[in-house]
Amino acid sequence: MSGNVADSAISPTSPTQTIPADLSGQMLELDEDDDLEVFSKDTTNTDGGSFNASMQTSPGSMINQYKFDEEDEEQEPGAKDIFITVDDPESHVTTIETFITYRVLTKTTRGEFDSSEYEVRRRYQDFLWLRGRLEEAHPTLIVHPLPEKFVMKGMVERFNDDFIETRRRALHRFLDRVADHPILSCNEDFRVFLSAQAWELTSHKKQGPGFLTRMGETVRAVAASVRGVKNRPEEFNSIQEYVEAFSQKMTSLDRITQRITKEEKEYLEELKEYAPTYTLWSGSEEELAEPLKGMANSLDRCYQETEEQGRQLSDCLAPALHEYVLCSETLKAVLRRRDNIQAELEAKNEALATKRADRDAEPRERGVVWQSLLGKNPEEARQLKQQRLAGEIDELKEEIDKMEDRVEWANNALKGDWGRWQRSMRSDLKEAFLSTAQKNVDYYEKCLAVWESFLLSMRAEVSEVDQRAGDS
């Protein structure tokens, strides 16, 4: 793959895509509780990383000091030409397994599609296959994460309505992110996923690389990761440090949000019994009947508002935070794949240097004696070795030229996608934080209004009683 392809596919990094030097320090420093309820994670890429102790730890640092640049919030120009909806989950029970399929509706004006509208049904494994193929085709592009295969700890029923709806929204976001991507959305596997019927998709899946090919790629990747990278560009070191800090902060926020959500559910269960208790009490206290009924009514209204506030946390903030916990793992995997490509290039350069040293070295005396004992002409053997080494050197040069193009493409792809991902992340988290803040303000204002109304009614009743007492 040549550098020209990379230039045409992804533009070089612009000033708006550089990494703020102090951004990783503008996040909350939070302790992680061991007993927090968190989502289970089905990930194999769990690189550890050091943490900068000099980071700011102000409780409001992430919200108050985070810089949401206006240029980062601007949407890319151009009309959207593909719209996808994931809805209508349907349960399927067979003798072997139970699974859920989702309807995927697509409307598009793109020329590579034979029709403008498609309706297919896909299960989670199909989404998993699509993501895997996108990562294989574009190893240093950031492919949005899927929801985990397993469910939240403590959830009794795997396929209850809440779980299915949460997964549906996550699958919809995944396809929407791919559809918005200028390169991933043009992938052939993505087109097939959206348009092919079930049997066609099954047939297409079988056309992928064979087991031995995948095994060979895995072995090379493992060898490259063990070998490591000697001269990683500084900009990717900065990205690595940012991702490590971002991962720790998002994980902490995710766990705390899950804990708060769990505690609010427990509080709601108690609050739900509070109003009926006051109502029963009012039946046995004639003189306190009205105040007790007023308390019951106020508590019931507060219960409804609290339930709505909890829904905001569980349906808006918690999914957004957890989504970016998974995104941080995706980013780590992308950086490893970029490093593996560079490590492979470095290994070939080392092999080329070794071959050249062998070619330029004088023939050892032992080698001459050994060739003489075998009845071969030492000079002829030396020439044959030189020819063989020359051929191997030429072959390595060609491979290195291709690898240099591949490294350049990988670097340009990641740098371009990194800036795009940052803009998307900032927009998503800003929206989640602002909507949660507004919901909290609304919640407390409504609850305050409920109790103020109760106090006014009680004062009016007391004044009425006092007036009747004075008249008598």
Cα gap 341→392, rounded to integer Å = 21
> pLDDT at residue 19 above 50?
no
Q: 236 vs 33, which has greater pLDDT? A: 236
Least confident of 42-46, 288-292, 314-318, 356-360: 42-46
Reported confidence tier of residue 28, pLDDT bands at 50, 70, 90 = very low
**pLDDT band (50, 70, 90) for residue 157:** low
Tell me which of 382 and 328 has the higher pLDDT. 328
Average pLDDT value for residue range 130-144: 94
Instruction: With a cut of 60, say whether residue 420 has pLDDT above it.
Output: yes
Task: Please say if the pLDDT value at position 29 is more than 80.
Answer: no
What was the pLDDT predicted at 224?
54
What pLDDT score was predicted for residue 132?
94
Q: Is the pLDDT of residue 447 over 90?
A: yes
How high is the pLDDT of residue 95?
82
Rounded mean pLDDT, 146-167:
69
Question: Looking at residues 256-272, what average pLDDT do you find?
Answer: 91
Q: Check pLDDT > 50 for residue 308.
A: yes
Tens digits of residue pLDDT in 229-257: 788 899 999 999 999 999 999 999 999 99
Is residue 368's pLDDT more than 60?
Answer: no
Mean pLDDT value across residues 82-95: 90
More confident residue, 375 or 443: 443
pLDDT at 365 over 70: no
Q: What is the pLDDT of residues 309-334, one digit of tens each?
A: 988 888 889 999 999 999 999 999 99
pLDDT at 41 over 50: no
Range in 6-15, 202-211, 252-261, 398-407 the model is least confident about: 6-15
Average pLDDT estimate for 280-291: 88
Q: Where in the chain is the domain with CATH 3.30.1520.10?
A: 80-208
The overall average pLDDT reported for the chain is 78
- In the chain, CATH 1.20.1270 covers 262-471
Q: Do 120 and 166 touch, CB atoms closer than 8 A?
A: no
Question: Between these two residues, 53 and 333, which has the higher pLDDT value?
Answer: 333
Lowest mean pLDDT among 182-186, 286-290, 431-435: 286-290
Judged by average pLDDT, the poorest of 94-103, 322-331, 364-373 is 364-373
Q: What is the pLDDT of residues 58-73, one digit of tens each?
A: 333 333 333 333 333 4
CATH architecture of 262-471: Up-down Bundle (1.20)
Percentage, residues of the chain above pLDDT 90: 47
Question: At the topology level of CATH, where does 80-208 sit?
Answer: PX Domain (3.30.1520)
Mean pLDDT, range 165-186, rounded to an integer:
93
pLDDT for 360 equals: 76
Instruction: Evaluate if residue 273 carries a pLDDT over 80.
Output: yes
pLDDT, residue 206, reads 85
